[in-house]
Amino acid sequence: MRMRKKPWAKDMILQRQDCVIANPEEMPGKWREYGKDSVVVEIGAGKGDYWINMAHMYPDELWVAVEKNIDAAGIALKKSLENTSENMKFIVNDAASISQWFAEGEVDRIHLNFSDPWPKKHHTKRRLTYGSFLNDYARILKEQGRLIMKTDNAQLFEYSLVSFASAGWKLCEVYVNYRSVKHDEDAITEYENNFINLGQPIYRAVWEVVKTDEKV
144: CATH: 3.40.50.150
Structural domain includes residue 154: yes
How many domains, in total, are found in the chain?
1
Q: Which domain holds residue 152?
A: 9-208
Q: What is the pLDDT of residue 216?
A: 43
Structural domain includes residue 214: no
Structural domain includes residue 76: yes
The continuous run of DSSP H or E covering 43 comes out as: strand 38-43
| DSSP-assigned letter for residue 199 | T
35: left (phi over 0), alpha (psi -120 to 50) or beta: left
Structural domain includes residue 151: yes
Residue among 108, 116, 186, 213 flagged as catalytic? 116
> What type of residue is 65?
A
User: Can 116 be counted among the known catalytic residues?
Assistant: yes
* Regions of the chain with pLDDT less than 50: 214-216
* Per-residue CA distances from 60 to 57, 68, 109, 112, 149 (Å): 9, 26, 14, 20, 22
Structural domain includes residue 213: no
Map residue 76 onto helix, strand or coil. helix
Residues 115 and 134: their CA atoms lie apart, in Å, by: 14
Q: What is the pLDDT of residue 2?
A: 63
Provide the sign of the torsion angle of the four alpha carbons 156, 103, 89, 34, taken in this order.
Answer: positive
Structural domain includes residue 32: yes
Q: What is the pLDDT of residue 214?
A: 47
Q: What is the pLDDT of residue 213?
A: 59
pTM of the predicted model as reported, rounded to 2 decimal places: 0.95
Residue 50 has φ and ψ, to the nearest 5°, of -65, -45
Residues 39 and 66: their CA atoms lie apart, in Å, by: 13
Structural domain includes residue 26: yes
Structural domain includes residue 37: yes
